[in-house]
Each structure stands twice: as structure tokens, then as C-alpha cells.
Structure 1
Amino acid sequence: MLTIRTLSRSIDWIVVAAIATLMTLGVMFIYSSGINSEGDLVSSEYIKQAIWAATGILVMLGVTLLEPKRLPDYTVIIYGFFLIVLVYTLIFGRVVNGARSWLGVGDLGIQPSEFMKIATIVFLSRYIEMSLHEGHSFKRFAVSLAIVVVPMGLILSQPDFGTALVFLPIYLGVAFIGGVSPRYLAFLMLTGSLAIVMTVMPLWQGLVSTKPALFMRLFYEAPYVYYVMGAALLALMLAIAGYRFFRKRYYYWISYVSLIGFLGLGSSLVGQRILKDYQVMRLVVFLDPSVDPLGSGWNILQSITAIGSGGFLGKGFLQGTQSHYRYLPQQSTDFIFSIISEELGFIGGVLVFALFLLIAFRLILSIRTLSSAFQRSVVAGVFSMILFHFMINTGMTMGIMPITGIPLLFLSYGGSSLWAICLGVGLCLGIGARRYES
């Protein structure tokens, strides 16, 4: 067991410094977002964020003191506890921004779904390690996926689509490192892609397409879609029977494609019922913001304007016009990167990119030095979570990703997401510091 002095020498302080720099930038530009066009400070969010950042660093460093070898014994309890909290939140939680996802009184509250991400990472990693002997089996894929789908379903019921979406890259990262069959992972991604496309297609055909393709109605409009799903199901059953009797490989691939079609179309029908119109509209305006320039497309257009107006060196700290004149919506949370790019320009954007890439690179190096499947999977899960948040949020502000309400970790305003990711990084730092322990 390492002493505190020895542990402090083994911690990756480069990651800690990068995160502290991002947190400092976050507090600075949350402060800037609270200034109006007359130069008056109208928000105290920066004070709360500074407190959350300071306590987040303490949480991150405190978690490194935990013994990673003992963590697997408690993963079931951690996962089960937060599942119960999610159910309680779904029934008794507070509604914020249309989602019943908060617990608390007055201005004090937490978002349990953020901590559920870390709980899912450690429990999924534990199962991946315990099932190594099963190799590429379908059972291993199905059980590991179920571990992720259960909390996703509860979070979607709140409904909080953005937070639920983060669980998919977490699963893919952990499952890939853990040796789940790439064939099954590809199946999951193809099915999900088909479901998303067919969920958006009705609005796209009606609002954007100048020449709607009539044959596409077969894949999303009742009763035609039911006929297509029935045909896919029939092809699946015949292919399974053919493979069982003749053992020809092409029967397997026919069943593979048929099941993707059946589940993808079925999921799209569920998505059309569950997702609200504004959520589907976000995906449509991502493809063409001009469809609704004063509604759902406004956010993207104003964000792109803010980033473009910053130029190479920016307008200067506290000199942003898009944010101070309140053209940018959710500017301290979803669009914090837009403010940074407007006031610090291209150089500021590159700085943020470099810090995130540095953190990601150090986590990848850590994975390569770990011998425990559990520990590799935990680091992979946290890495996937950070990378996905970064790619989606920055892409969203630049108009190359749909608006999903996913914050930019370490920078966006919010205590729950900040503490949760600090908890996750703390686990990674503790694991990395003990990587050479016998």
C-alpha cells in the first residue's frame, strides 16, 4: 500500500494541471456571461462555479487515496444505490427545464443521473472483468449492454435525452477495451444510427426536402413501416432456420442485417413517441439551421456568429457582444465554448482543444500500462465520457453536431456534472498512481 507521500509523487499532475486550467477558464467566462450590454454584472453563477471547482479538485485528489483493488467489491452496491436514487428522482424529483431530474430544496440540488454515469462505469467494468472467460459470446454483449440500458431508460423517462445519450459511448469504450465482440458493437451502432435517421425523417421530409422521396415513407409511416418490419422479421426467421440446417455463412449475415432493420425501425417508432417535437427538431436544424432561424435554428446560428466574430485573437476578455447582448442562449452552460472563442478567438479555442487532447492522451497512456481488466475498463469509460462531451459540445457550438444539451466538462456551469467527472478522473488518477503495485 502506497503512503500519501509516495502516492503524491505518482499522481499524474499534468492531468490535474490541465483540469485546473480548464476550471479556471470556466469560472472566468461564466463571469463574462453574467455581464449585460450595459456592463453590469447580473449573475452570481461564477461564485457558485468557483466553489464547485475548488471542491471538485479536492474530491478528485481525495478519491485518489482510495484503494483501487477494493473498489470492485463495492460496485454492485454503488450501482444499485444510484439506480434506486434515479427511481426516487423520477417519482419525487424537481422539474428543471422540462425534466424531472433533480433532487434538492430551493437553490440547492444535485442531478443524480450525472453520478449514475460513474456508477455505471465501475459496475460495467466489474462485469467485463468477471466475464473475460466468455470471450466474444453474445451473452457477454447482452448482459453488459443491459447494465447500461437500465439507467438509460430511467433517464430517458425523466426525460433527459442528452444525459442518456452519454451512456452509449461509455458502453462502447468499456466494451471495446474489455474485448466484447466488435461484430456486436457494430450491430449496436448500425441499429442506433438507423433508429435516429428514421426518427428524424418525418420532419425532414415535411420541412426540409424540396422533393420528398415517397419510397422513404415505407420506413417511418404507418401502416407501411409495419409491413417492412414484418418482412424483416420473416427474413430473420428464415435466415435463422437456414443457418441451423445448412450452416452457410451468408444465412448468418442475412439474419444480422434483418435484425438491424427490425430493431432500428422499431426503435424509431418508439423514439417518435417518446421524444418531444423540439428534441427531434434539434436534429433537423442541425442538418439545416435555416429551416427555423428564429426558433430551434437560432441557437446554432448565433453560436456560429459568435465564434466567427472572434477572429484569430478575439475581441478581448469581457468584450464579447453576442453574450453580453444575450444573443447566445444557455451561454454559461451549453454554449460556454462560443463565449471563449468570441473573446479569446481562434487561439482560445485551440487552447481548450489542446487541454482536452492532453487529458485524453494521458488517459490513453495510462490504459496501456494497466494489467487489470477492471482498471483498464474504468479508465476507458471515463476517457470515453470526457471525449464524447467534448466532441458533441464543441461540435454543437460550431454547427457540426446537433444540439443535445450536453455540457462542456470542467468549463460549463453546473456542480453535479463537475463533481461527477472529478470523481471519475480521481479514480483514474488513483489507478494510474498504483499501476506498478504488485
Structure 2
Amino acid sequence: MKIRFFSSIDYILLLCVLLLITIGIAFIYSSGINSEGVLVSNEYIKQIVWFCIGFSVMIIMALMDYRKLERYSHYFFIFMAAILVYTRFFGRYVNGARSWLGIGDLGIQPSELMKIAFILCLARFLEKSSAEKPMKRFVLAICIMMVPMGLILLQPDLGTASVFLPIFLFMCFMADVPVRYLMIVFLTGMLTIVFAVLPIWETEILRKSVPIIHVLSNIKLRILVFSASLGICIIGILGNMFFKKKYYYWITYFFGIFSCAIAGSWCCGKVLKPYQIARLIVFIDPNSDPRGAGWNIIQSKTAIGAGTLFGRGFMQGSQSHLRFLPQQSTDFIFSIFSEEMGFVGGIVLFCAFFAILIRITHIIRQTNNSYSCYIASGILGMFFFHFIVNVGMVMGIMPITGIPLPFLSYGGSALLTNMLAIGLLMSINSRRLDFKTTL
């Protein structure tokens, strides 16, 4: 068993992960140096400790038969949901969200571990429901997704909550859920964000009244538009039931998306705080609030641009050492890396992440059962979204959502979750030729 395990390890995947973690620890150390060259933070030591814990958990997970987790996955999901409820009421505030549990400096973010619980639970459901009607299967899968998303949004933590969407889409796509159903989730999510930020964009950036946007800022008009849209949706449903015409289906489809987006944007306005919504729009024009919501993007772009081709050298970055970059060891770790290692270093980092995504895709193609395929697909969606959004965020081409860069950003909960995911992938890869047995 041990010989087979070591011979089946994806060493490219493992080496890329270890490379990224090593880089992460080095630049967390660099971020703790002030302008006088004095180390003012011990975060790198904590990250090393979390790496040791995470690496041990990864090995344990890799040695386990992942298929044995299937029968317990829904219990794990329910347990983590209960922990999230507890966190919402009794957790401690960190960066404006009640999302942490712990004592003193020791803490953990349950929403991070919920990602693994959600992947395992949804994979089990998608496998067990393969014979169900596509619409029923899709609706139930959405209900599963809305549990963690809703609880995390109540903290409120928009960044972490948004990660569940790509995980859901990747897994459902691999489970042969019709693309037109998945587009409902994607389009509703995009429209919800647009409808939520348009009123603030009108007042904070455009600074003049636009009649069509006024519909979203006036509660009476919003209710009127929502009621009309919902009414048309109901007519489409009835028309499709009685007349079986295709255009009734598409009327229901598009107006249903529109209605959900209108309702969802209202919920976002109630749940999310003004500064969180401001972050979603300020990337359009950071200079509209250069000392407020736009500060992070401006300083991040300055740091990346200062790196030029080969960078200023390790521990020579001015933006981080002068403390211009907020949250520089977490959300903006790539900015520090780019300033000190330059464009060439950034390319190396991109190649390492790209190699990880390619190896996960290879594991998906090689596996011989649907349960492992769904798990690996969810992990692929999680890593892909984290990488794209974080790098896009620090470059100023995506909104700031507080999503860390996998393996590099400081944070024990995130690193532990990522190492758990890698352990699952190794377990799947080492048993890819096994026939699925009844557990």
C-alpha cells in the first residue's frame, strides 16, 4: 500500500504547492519588515506552524481512502453549518465581519473549512441524484449551496461567500447539469451585483441622477418593477404549461433571472455594509475615493508597477516597508511579491499556479468514478476562483473582495483548507485505478 501510494503521488502538484508555500512564508516575513529594517511581525512564524499542521493533515488525508468520507459528508456539512450559526452570534469581529472563533491570538475561520464540507456534501448529492430529473436535481443542489452562502453573508463576508458559486458551477457542470440551468446561477449572480452597486455608483462616481438607476434606489419603484417582472414570469409559466410554446419557456427563464436579481440586490443592500459595496465599484475609478475605498487599489498598482522587469530585490520593496499597503501579508501578498521580484517573478508564480490547475484537470480525467470527479472539480473551481480574483483584485481589474491568494497569503484557516484539498486530490490520484466499492 505504501509503495503504491508513493509511486502514485503527483510530484509536480506537490512541488508546486511547496514552492508557493515557501514563497508565501518568505514574503510574509518581508511584509513584517518596516522602513528601518526592523521585524515588527511574527506572522511568518505562525504561518510556518500552520504549514506544519497543514502538511501533516494533507499526508493523513492522502493516506485515507477518500471514498470512506462519502457516507459521513452530509454530517460534516451539517456540523459545519451549525458552527457557522454559532460563529454568527458568538464569534469575534475581524475586519468588519463576525467570522472567527478562538481565544486570544489563536483563532480559526470556520467558513474556510466549510468549503471542503460543501464540496464533499455536494459531490455525494450529485452522485446519488444522477437518476433524478435535471430541474429537481439542480434546485436541490442550489438549496445545498445557499446554506453556507447565506450563513457566511450574514457575518457578513462577501468574499468567502462568493467562492461557493464557482465551486457549485464547476461541480454541476461535471455532473452534466444542463448549461442553461447553470447560466441561471451565473447571470443571477452577476445581475445581483450590478443592481446592488449601481445606486452607489450613481451617487459616488457618476454624481448625477440617471432615471433608470433611480428605479433601484427608490424602494417603491423597485417593488413595482419586481412585481411586474414576477407577474410576467408567472404568465410565462402558465403559458408554457397550457400551450407548450417554447417562447413561454424563455420568457419565464429571463424574467425569472431578472426578478431574482432585483430581490437579491435588495438583500445585498441590507446585509452588506456600505464599505463592502463601495469596494465593488471603486475599481472602476479608484481616484473617486483615493484615501478611502480606492486607497488599496492605488497602492497595490503602484507596488506592482514599481517592480518593473526584475523587481527591487527581496526585502527591498518600499510600498510594504513604508506600510502603504494595508493587509499586505494577506490579500495583497502578490503586490509585495511583484514589487520585489518584478514581472519575471510574477510569471514564475503564474506558471506554478497554472501547473497546479493543469494537474488537477489531469486527476479529473484519470479518475474512474463520479464521486472523485466531482470532488476534484470543486477543488479546481475553488483554486481557480481564488487565484483569478485575488490577482485581478491587486491589479485593479477586479473589485476588492478580501479573497486570499492560495498557499501564499497569511492565514492558518485558509492554508489548512488548501492543504486538506491537496490531500484529497492525492487520495483520489492514488486510487484512480480502483473500482468503486460499496461502503
User: So what's the TM-score if we normalise by structure 1?
Assistant: 0.97
Deviations 1:328-375 (A, max 9, x none): 110000000000000000011111111110000000011011121110
State how 1:43-122 maps to structure 2 within 5 Å: 43-122=41-120
Which sections of structure 2, spanning at least 5 residues, go unmatched?
none
Separation (CA, whole Å) in 1 of partners of 2:287 and 2:250? 41
Shift of 1:288: 1.1
Separation (CA, whole Å) in 2 of partners of 1:409 and 1:179? 28
Matched, 1:316 2:313: yes
Who is 2:394 aligned against? 397
Who is 2:150 aligned against? 153
Q: 1:142 aligns with which of 125, 139, 153?
A: 139
Separation (CA, whole Å) in 1 of partners of 2:179 and 2:55? 36
Amino acid in the other structure paired with 1:58 = S
Who is 1:28 aligned against? 26
Preserved contact between residue 304 and residue 342 of structure 2 (Cα < 8 Å): yes
Q: 2:265 aligns with which of 265, 268, 284?
A: 268
Q: 2:163 aligns with which of 161, 166, 169?
A: 166
Matched, 1:422 2:410: no
Who is 2:256 aligned against? 259
Q: How many residues are treated as equivalent by the alignment?
A: 435
Preserved contact between residue 389 and residue 406 of structure 1 (Cα < 8 Å): yes
Amino acid in the other structure paired with 1:208 = I
Separation (CA, whole Å) in 2 of partners of 1:375 and 1:250? 39
After superposition, the CA RMSD in angstroms is: 1.1
Separation (CA, whole Å) in 1 of partners of 2:153 and 2:213? 27
Who is 2:366 aligned against? 369
Q: SS at 1:232's partner residue? A: helix
Amino acid in the other structure paired with 2:141 = S
Who is 2:130 aligned against? 132
State how 1:163-202 maps to structure 2 within 5 Å: 163-202=160-199
Separation (CA, whole Å) in 2 of partners of 1:4 and 1:94? 43
Amino acid in the other structure paired with 1:184 = Y
Preserved contact between residue 102 and residue 111 of structure 1 (Cα < 8 Å): yes
Separation (CA, whole Å) in 1 of partners of 2:168 and 2:341? 35
Who is 1:296 aligned against? 293
Amino acid in the other structure paired with 2:294 = G
Who is 2:214 aligned against? 217
User: So what's the TM-score if we normalise by structure 2?
Assistant: 0.97
Q: SS at 1:104's partner residue? A: strand
Matched, 1:437 2:429: no
Q: SS at 1:79's partner residue? A: helix
Preserved contact between residue 280 and residue 399 of structure 2 (Cα < 8 Å): yes
4+ residue stretches of structure 1 with deviation over 3 A? none
Amino acid in the other structure paired with 1:33 = S
Preserved contact between residue 199 and residue 220 of structure 1 (Cα < 8 Å): no
Who is 2:283 aligned against? 286
Preserved contact between residue 219 and residue 228 of structure 1 (Cα < 8 Å): no
Amino acid in the other structure paired with 2:58 = M
Amino acid in the other structure paired with 1:380 = S
Preserved contact between residue 220 and residue 265 of structure 1 (Cα < 8 Å): no
Deviations 1:18-73 (A, max 9, x none): 00000000010000000000111111111111121232222212211111222211
Who is 2:230 aligned against? 233
Separation (CA, whole Å) in 1 of partners of 2:217 and 2:89? 32
Shift of 1:216: 2.5
Who is 1:345 aligned against? 342
Preserved contact between residue 396 and residue 403 of structure 1 (Cα < 8 Å): yes
Shift of 1:178: 1.1
Separation (CA, whole Å) in 2 of partners of 1:122 and 1:309? 43
Amino acid in the other structure paired with 1:43 = S
Deviations 1:279-298 (A, max 9, x none): 01001101111110111101
Separation (CA, whole Å) in 2 of partners of 1:369 and 1:115? 26
Preserved contact between residue 114 and residue 420 of structure 1 (Cα < 8 Å): yes
Shift of 1:210: 5.5
Who is 1:388 aligned against? 385
Preserved contact between residue 368 and residue 434 of structure 2 (Cα < 8 Å): no
Amino acid in the other structure paired with 1:289 = P
Separation (CA, whole Å) in 2 of partners of 1:325 and 1:422? 32
Separation (CA, whole Å) in 2 of partners of 1:30 and 1:277? 30
Q: SS at 1:95's partner residue? A: strand
Separation (CA, whole Å) in 1 of partners of 2:89 and 2:265? 26
Q: SS at 1:315's partner residue? A: coil
Separation (CA, whole Å) in 2 of partners of 1:210 and 1:273? 22
Amino acid in the other structure paired with 2:18 = A
Preserved contact between residue 199 and residue 213 of structure 2 (Cα < 8 Å): no
Which sections of structure 1, spanning at least 5 residues, go unmatched?
none
Separation (CA, whole Å) in 2 of partners of 1:437 and 1:270? 46
Matched, 1:409 2:406: yes
Deviations 1:237-273 (A, max 9, x none): 2112211221110011011111111111111111111
Q: SS at 1:102's partner residue? A: strand
Amino acid in the other structure paired with 2:386 = H
Separation (CA, whole Å) in 2 of partners of 1:91 and 1:209? 38
